[in-house]
Chains A and B, each alone.
Chain A
Amino acid sequence: MAAISGIPLSRRLGRVALHAVLIAGGAVMLFPFVWMLLTSFKGTPQMLNAPLDWLPHPWRPQNYPDVFSALPFGQAYWNSFYIAILNVVLTLFTSAMAAYAFARIRFRGSGALFVLFLATQMVPAQTTIVPLYLMLAQFGWIDSHLSLIVPGFVNPFAVFLLRQFIRAVPIELEEAARIDGAGRWTIFWRIVLPNIRPGMGALGIIVFLASWNSFFFPLIFLNSPELATVPLLISQFARQHGAVDYGLTLAASAISVVPMLIAFLIGQRRILNSMAMSGLGGR
């Protein structure tokens, strides 16, 4: 921090003001999390008599085990997790294939098809929810995880993003492999995929988060409690017991939020870069 002594006082004051504003903003961002954690340790008597007391008295860690006995929470965790993983694997694999075709194979109508692909992004998922529901019901997939896993892999944005990455792979690599007699599949599998690993990682994170937090589709497609995903289970619990068992509801939320926050803190650099990159359209 030796450099600071060279900075004029006015700039230093400006910097302090800047940090003050940023810290105030940060407090607004953090407060709901803190309040959730504090409330999750409160018992029902305190919620009824003195809900605004900052600290729990007495502290009631029992809310946490109670959540697991009141709800099939462990099951919901597993459901959300394996659905998210399958979504990531299927989305990454199929969209990398399509992205490769758009980036490196010349075929008639390639440009038009790509534009159509992107245009479908404009259709809100809710537009097709009723027909999609009817169709999945025909397949017998309603109240089954298949309704979340199978349609979930269709992802034009992923194709777009990976296409950007594939175009940045030097074409010479591919040409050298072709001269050595490699076919399209070998080139895709051995040359292209290893070279777009950062893009795949970024996309994987984005798809995982979207699937893990998804609510609209599970709400409509699932009924059985044992099939529920974490957000679905919490929303149902909050709607039934919210006003009565605030402590339990908030403990349930905390259990759903805290592991993700820890994972985020560990991988924050990659996660933030992935998000920034997708927001800039893959630059």
Chain B
Amino acid sequence: MAVGVVTRTRPTPTARPARAQTRVRHRDGWWAVFFLAPQVLGLLVFLVFPLGFAVVLAFMKWDGLGEKTWVGFDNFAAQLADPEFGTALWNTVKLAFLTVPVGLGLALLLAVALNQIRGKTFYRVVYFMPVITSSVAVAVMWQLILASGDFGILNGVVRDLFGVTLPDWLDDRTWVIVAIAAVTIWSSLGLNVVIFLAGLQTIPPSLMEAARIDGAGPVRAFLSVTLPMISPTIFFSTVVAVISSLQAFDQIYVLVNPAHNDGARTIVYQVYELGFQDFEFGMSSAAALILLVLTLLVTLVQFGAQKRFVHYDS
């Protein structure tokens, strides 16, 4: 249901006379080729071929100009042994664990709250504003808030009001990932609220009514009716949120500049730096492939977990 598999049965082919059917099918084959051609060709040229090329490159040493040398698994070994890559991997994992549960949890609470009230439109619009704002503008706006010294309004106001000095969010090696997570949650919250709210509105009111008649309080009804009913939506959003946090780059690049603060280095930044600053094309591809494997593994684990936690009603 989450991935919305509509089961609409087509008229069975046996209903038609056999000869007409083969002729139609033959011609249909060509029509299928025609209709599919642009997307399939595009996919082959701009995704499948580069992916194959990336695999080949990952086993080579090449700066784009000189000789290509076959180095076997050296690039992978070098990356896995490189403390910079280790930092990037660790930061990426931390970011996912900081953003996904908190971001989706907050979004779910807000969606449930919004579902109770009239005048949702105003709140939906306000919460959604960051979603349509480009990640670059988001980063510039937050840089101004989180900056250190006398510039950042957050630390300035907290110091003036409470006399407490907060960490230098963007310059501190440890705290920067928390700041990035907060900005990421801020900028994606509205999207998840809107999606969850739409999911909540697909729950038939009769179900909630039945739960109430059976004596379920609000908490019980939430746990036994609401959660199972929107679990496909939660699952879908979780997969999307995890994948996008594994690919975090845009906001970080503008907000922090990981070249100056190691605490903000993510895998994609590593791929970018190796490829387009150091021109280590093989090394960069190896790091990118490690990211791909990580993405596939994490998604597979989630699809495995889905069977236990996600409820599909049909």
Contact = CB atoms under 8 A, between A and B. Distances in A.
A194 interface: no
Contacts of A39: 144
Q: Identify which of B25, B32, B189, B285 gathers the most chain A CB atoms within 10 Å of its CB.
A: B32
Nearest to A265: B125
Contacts of B46: 132, 150-151, 154
B102 interface: no
A277 B201 CA distance: 12
B73 to A, nearest CB: 18
26 contacts: A21-B113, A22-B117, A22-B123, A31-B145, A32-B186, A95-B39, A98-B36, A101-B36, A123-B51, A124-B246, A124-B247, A125-B247, A126-B268, A127-B292, A130-B275, A130-B288, A212-B134, A213-B132, A213-B136, A215-B253, A235-B254, A238-B254, A261-B129, A272-B124, A275-B194, A280-B4
Interface string B110-142: 100110110001011111111111111111111
Interface of B, helix, strand, loop or mixed by DSSP: helix
A176 interface: no
Contact of B299 (A122, A168, A243, A260): A122
A158 B192 CA distance: 19
Contacts of A171: 8, 10-11
A31 B183 CA distance: 13
Interface in A76-117: 93-95, 97-98, 100-102, 105-108, 110, 113, 117
B32 A105 contact: yes
Interface stretch (A66-74, A196-204, A245-253): A245-253
Interface residues of A, number: 101
Which 10 pairs between the two chains have the least Cβ-Cβ distance? A279-B195, A276-B198, A131-B53, A281-B4, A213-B134, A128-B50, A101-B35, A94-B38, A154-B42, A131-B50
A55 interface: no
A176 to B, nearest CB: 14
Contacts, number: 303
B170 to A, nearest CB: 11
A216 interface: yes
Contacts of A132: 46, 50
A128 B141 contact: no
B237 to A, nearest CB: 7
A15 B36 contact: no
Contact of A130 (B28, B57, B250, B296): B57
Nearest to B11: A171
Interface in B133-171: 133-145, 150-151, 153, 156-157, 160
A18 interface: yes
Interface string A184-210: 100010000000000000000000010
B289 interface: yes
A127 B43 contact: no
A276 B195 contact: yes
B36 A280 contact: no
Contact of B254 (A32, A230, A239): A239
Given A52-B157, A215-B250, A18 B281 contact: no
A181 interface: no
A135 interface: yes
Contacts of A105: 28, 31-32, 35
A28 B129 CA distance: 12
Contacts of A41: none
B54 A128 contact: yes
Given A122-B299, A123-B292, A134 B129 contact: no
Interface string B25-55: 1001101100110111011001111110110
B28 A107 contact: yes
A155 B237 CA distance: 19
B32 A110 contact: yes
B191 interface: yes
Contacts of B199: 280
Interface in A130-179: 130-135, 150-151, 153-156, 159, 164, 167-168, 171
A100 B35 contact: yes
A117 B43 contact: yes
Interface in A260-283: 260-261, 264-265, 268-269, 271-273, 275-277, 279-283
B288 A129 contact: yes
Contacts of A265: 125
A127 B141 CA distance: 29
Contacts of B192: 279
Contacts of B141: 32-33, 35-36, 250, 253
B308 to A, nearest CB: 21
B142 A279 contact: no
